[in-house]
A = this chain, B = another copy of it.
Amino acid sequence: MKDTQDISRLLRERGARVTPARLRVLALLRSAERGLSHHDIEKALDDGTPVDRVTLYRVLDWLVEQGLAHKVADEQRVFRFSAASTGGEPHQAHAHFVCDDCGKVFCLEDTPRAAPRLPAGFASTQVEFEVHGHCAACNVPVEARR
């Protein structure tokens, strides 16, 4: 697929080696419409050549370091990763929707602004906006809700 070329270039631009693990993980993150846990990713890449657990962790952290992905801890205190908006620089004020039923994280486009006033001596570097609730898949009118 053409996206692979795209990704290779992105990696190479950073003076980094283009490895299958990096390509596959980033491609997956980019095609995912929501934040994926380490486990999700491991499962998704299990076809054919599985990726080692540790390698996966390292690739993910590397992607975050490079500003190609970002990382949030969900309610179950599990990290979820998503691709950063194409550019590369770590994305600034971003809004997330966290489903309290399935724990999945979605990125909301429509992002708000302005940090609230901070106490003296505090400095802000990033503002995160998290909306909790039920995602479309879990928002069905059923009583089977945990």
A residues lining the B interface (CB < 8 Å): 73-79, 95, 97, 100, 106, 108, 110-112, 114-137, 139
Contacts and interface: CB of A to CB of B under 8 A. Distances in A.
What's the dominant secondary structure at chain A's contact region?
A: loop
Contact of A134 (B97, B122, B137): B122
Contacts of A129: 116, 127-130
B135 A121 contact: yes
A18 to B, nearest CB: 30
A123 B116 contact: no
Contacts of A73: 73-77
A51 B74 CA distance: 28
Contacts of A79: 77
Nearest to A78: B77
Nearest to A128: B130
**Residue from A106, A117, A132 with most neighbouring chain B CB atoms (10 Å):** A132
A114 B108 CA distance: 14
- Closest 8 pairs between A and B when the two form their complex, measured CB to CB: A121-B136, A124-B133, A128-B130, A126-B132, A77-B77, A73-B77, A110-B116, A125-B133
